[in-house]
Amino acid sequence: MEPELKEYLRRLLFTISIVCTWFITNTAVGIKMGYAFWSEKFTMQNALFYLWLLFSIIIAFILIKKIWQKPIRFNN
């Protein structure tokens, strides 16, 4: 396999892995444990969850940007 294609596929796999891990983690904590919803009032657990959600999406974006920042040189 060509080294450029291999690098592209590696970056793509890492990106998909980061997004899936972020999504599954936040879905499990938010929906399954009930922190994403509030029934009567907004609690401290809800606030912590939404702060974590914001913090984690920023970190995921920074990681993905770092992965794709260096261009891949495809030889023709």
Dump pLDDT digits (tens) for 20-68.
Answer: 999 999 999 999 988 999 888 888 999 999 999 999 999 999 999 999 9
Prediction pTM value: 0.84
Residue at 76 is within a domain: no
Decide: helix, strand or coil at residue 33. Answer: coil
Candidates 11, 15, 14, 7; CA nearest to 75 is 7
Domain housing 28: 3-69
Per-residue pLDDT band at 2 (split at 50, 70, 90): confident
- The answer on pLDDT for 76 being more than 80 is no
The Cβ-side half-sphere exposure at 32, using a 13 Å CA radius, reads: 7
> Which DSSP category does 34 fall into?
S
Q: What is the pLDDT, as a whole number, of residue 74?
A: 78
Residue at 74 is within a domain: no
Residue at 75 is within a domain: no
Residue at 12 is within a domain: yes
Look at the chain and report how many structural domains it folds into: 1
